[in-house]
Amino acid sequence: MFKVPPAIAAERLTICRACKHFKESTQSCGTLILGDKLSPEDLAEAEASNLITHYRKKLRLCGCHMPTKTKYSLYRCPINKWGRYKLNEEETEALAAFISGLPTQGVYTAQMVKEAAAWFTKMTGQRYGCSSCKAGVIFQFLKDSIGAANLDDLG
C-alpha cells in the first residue's frame, strides 16, 4: 500500500541515476548511510559529506539506497527532483501519526478501522466495503509500516 507503481519507481530511479549526487557504487544519494549501522564518528562524517549547496540553499543528501527509497510513496528526493506520491506534507505527517498510534496487538476500534480504510482509499484509489475487509486494511498498514519504519531515515 505504501509502495508506488513500478513505473513510478523506475522513473524516480532513472532521475536519481542521472543526478550528479548519485553514487553508482553504492546506488545511493550521496554517501550511503544505513541507519544505526555506522559508528557515531562514521555517521557524523557521512552526514557532513552529504551537506551540499543546491541553488544557494544548504541541503543534506539523504544517503539512502535509492533502488529501495524510490519504491515508497512517503519519501521524496532531498533536492526535490521527485516528490511524495499522492500525499502532500501535511497528509504524510497525519498518516505517520495515525500509523504510530495503531496498537501492534489487541483490539482495533471502529474509528481506527474507519480511518485506516480512508487512508487506504486515499493511497490506492480503491474502496473497502465490508467491516471484515476493513480490518484487513489495518493489518496491511501494520505490515507495510514495518517496512516504512525501517526506512525512517530516508527523508
Please state the domain extents for the chain: 6-69, 89-154
Relative orientation angle of helices 131-149 and 110-124, to the nearest 10 degrees:
70
**Which of the two residues, 131 and 29, has the higher pLDDT score?**
29
Are the beta carbons of 63 and 29 closer than 8 angstroms?
Answer: yes
Torsion angles phi and psi, residue 126, rounded to 5? -105, 155
Cα 6 to Cα 2, 47, 80, 133, 154: the distances in Å are: 12, 30, 20, 25, 19
Query: What pLDDT is recorded for position 124?
Result: 67
pLDDT band at 96 (very low <50, low <70, confident <90, very high): confident
Weakest mean pLDDT among 54-58, 118-122, 123-127: 123-127
Cα 26 to Cα 83, 104, 130: the distances in Å are: 22, 34, 45
Query: What pLDDT is recorded for position 14?
Result: 97
- Alpha-carbon 9 to chain mean position: 12
8 pLDDT more than 90? yes
pLDDT, averaged across the chain: 78
Weakest mean pLDDT among 8-22, 95-109, 121-135, 140-154: 140-154
